[in-house]
A and B are shown apart, each in its own frame.
Chain A
Amino acid sequence: MITLVLERRLKSLEDELLGFSWETIGRVDKSVKSFLDEDIYLARDIIEKTDEINKESYKIEHGCLKVLGLHQPLAKDLRLGAALLRTSIELERINNLSAYIARYAIDAGESDRTCYKPPHIQFMSQTVQDMLKDAVGALLNEDIQLLKRSTRSYVNLQDFYNQMFLEYDELTHGGSQTSLILVGRNLLSMGHHVMGMADRIAYSIVGKQVMHHKLFHNMLLR
């Protein structure tokens, strides 16, 4: 009986996290769209709804604390609770980064300077969305292969950013491409947050510590 109650509570948290992750993915897409299209109204809408959306994270966090405190789960139930908690927090941060991108969209829309928008931004946005889908899918389905697909995509994300930075860096001194680089940085940061989630999700699934720092070191040192 006690196990059934715990299982039901964990399932409920998983369902809430799934809903929250889809909202987050949608916001990443819309925030980049607002930047690319210089759609100030869409951008304002994203910013205004950030607090409301993030309340879901607090709800999931509170739910996880209740499970951990009242049920004292062990082994994979404990690891799952920890992974749900961490994932929820990282999704909240990604939502905040979407709001920053929307802010750059407003700045770009309101300024006189033209800003060429290369395809890299859209590629990066799509990569982040796919990473998120795969990471959350991996958590909910205990699918380590799906998680590997998510983390491998980080390399593509970094490559898109590097290419964009190298191609357009010479223009940033003029200020017209600064927002482009900043949006790119925010999308890269989103990738970092997905990698942070991935560590905890991997631990939840396989019960061993898997740190992705090597990936970062290899890229920074190449």
Chain B
Amino acid sequence: MEYRIEAEELNVYFGESHILKDISIKMPTNEVTALIGPSGCGKSTFIRSINRMNDLIPSFRKNGTVLLDGDDVYDPKMDVVDLRMRVGMVFQKPNPFPKSIFDNVAYGLGIQGITDKEVLRERVEQSLRGAALWDEVKDKLENSALGLSGGQQQRLCIARTIAVEPEVILMDEPCSALDPISTTKIEDLIHKLKNEYTIIIVTHNMQQATRVSKNTAFFLNGEIVESGLTEKIFIEPEDNRTEDYITGRFG
């Protein structure tokens, strides 16, 4: 089995607070891994460690390693901008740029140095199709992205992410601000995207984790209590803490 992302003995601190403790986990390539756990347990901190978003927080420090295709993402030689193109991220609240739909998707391509209008048009269409949004917006690409519905905005953010052809897509509760129908569309999209990308999704929705992911890791108080195949975690968990959490008996 190939692993796109590997964390080895990762410890993360914000000032004196020890947020992640000895995290070791491997995320298989082209599979969906769900991270579950109560609020404040370190799930979002962990995924932000993969694309070095935590670097933006002054008090952040870490030890241990995070590898992307065998390369240490914290190696001084690692280009953070390039890293964030290879590891895209979709956030809880859809955050399209205050630009047109077309420009939202083309923005990252511009940073990559692509200026040919025809190439941009093709890539934008390809990305919007990939995000299952093309049919809904093809006649209004010049309209503001802010005029789209919540679900459409989130799919636009996904299109923007995949436009730069990442290897990994991080999703931090991508559906928590969406209605059930939009959620279903995003989940269907995840099923489609996993054939080309390695996806890591943080979710509080247990049923969503069972629907979309092949693997699951349960976080608690900054540690991984149990990880493995989703069907094993949710049907035959080995740790009582996992059992208590997923059956709602937690606390």
Which residues does A use to contact B, with CB under 8 Å?
2-3, 6, 72-79, 207-208
Q: Is the CB–CB distance between B236 and A74 below 8 Å? A: no
In the complex the two chains form, what is the Cα distance from A6 to B206 in whole Å?
16
- Most chain B Cβ neighbours within 10 Å, of A72, A73, A76, A79: A76
Note all chain B residues with C-beta closer than 8 A to A208: 236
Q: Is the CB–CB distance between A75 and B248 below 8 Å? A: no
Task: Pick from B235, B242, B248, B249: contact of A78, CB below 8 A.
Answer: B235
Chain B interface residue count: which class? 10 to 19
- Take A207-B236, A208-B236 as given contacts and tell me if A75 and B207 are in contact as well, using a CB distance cutoff of 8 Å: no
Between-chain CB contacts (< 8 Å), 19 pairs: A2-B248, A3-B247, A3-B249, A6-B248, A72-B207, A73-B247, A74-B206, A74-B234, A74-B235, A74-B246, A75-B234, A75-B235, A75-B236, A75-B243, A76-B243, A79-B235, A79-B236, A207-B235, A207-B238
Note all chain A residues with C-beta closer than 8 A to B206: 74
Q: Is B237 an interface residue (CB 8 A)?
A: yes
Question: Which chain B residue has the least Cβ–Cβ distance from A73?
Answer: B247
Q: Is the CB–CB distance between A3 and B248 below 8 Å? A: yes
A11 to chain B, nearest CB (A): 15
Q: Is the CB–CB distance between B247 and A77 below 8 Å? A: yes
A124 to chain B, nearest CB (A): 35
Note all chain B residues with C-beta closer than 8 A to A3: 247-249
Note all chain B residues with C-beta closer than 8 A to A2: 248
In the complex the two chains form, what is the Cα distance from A2 to B108 in whole Å?
44
- Take A207-B236, A208-B236 as given contacts and tell me if A76 and B248 are in contact as well, using a CB distance cutoff of 8 Å: no
Question: Which chain B residue has the least Cβ–Cβ distance from A7?
Answer: B249
B184 to chain A, nearest CB (A): 15
Number of A-B contacts (CB under 8 A): 33
Q: Which 6 A-B pairs have the closest CB atoms?
A: A3-B248, A207-B236, A74-B246, A74-B234, A75-B243, A75-B247
B183 to chain A, nearest CB (A): 15
| Consensus secondary structure, chain A interface | helix
B153 to chain A, nearest CB (A): 28
Note all chain A residues with C-beta closer than 8 A to B235: 74-75, 78-79, 207
Question: Which chain B residue has the least Cβ–Cβ distance from A207?
Answer: B236
Question: Which chain A residue has the least Cβ–Cβ distance from B210?
Answer: A74
Q: Is the CB–CB distance between B207 and A76 below 8 Å? A: no
In the complex the two chains form, what is the Cα distance from A6 to B248 in whole Å?
10
CB-CB contacts of B218-238 with A at 8 A, as 1s and 0s? Answer: 000000000000000011111
CB-CB contacts of B182-212 with A at 8 A, as 1s and 0s? Answer: 0000000000000000000000001100100
In the complex the two chains form, what is the Cα distance from A120 to B194 in whole Å?
61
In the complex the two chains form, what is the Cα distance from A49 to B237 in whole Å?
43
Note all chain B residues with C-beta closer than 8 A to A79: 235-236
Note all chain A residues with C-beta closer than 8 A to B249: 3
In the complex the two chains form, what is the Cα distance from A72 to B248 in whole Å?
12
Sample of 15 further A-B pairs with CB below 8 A, known A75-B236, A75-B247: A3-B248, A3-B249, A6-B248, A72-B207, A74-B210, A74-B235, A74-B246, A75-B234, A75-B242, A78-B235, A79-B235, A79-B236, A207-B235, A207-B237, A208-B236
In the complex the two chains form, what is the Cα distance from A72 to B206 in whole Å?
10
Question: Which chain B residue has the least Cβ–Cβ distance from A208?
Answer: B236
Note all chain B residues with C-beta closer than 8 A to A78: 234-235
Note all chain B residues with C-beta closer than 8 A to A72: 207
In the complex the two chains form, what is the Cα distance from A75 to B235 in whole Å?
4
Note all chain B residues with C-beta closer than 8 A to A75: 234-237, 242-243, 246-247
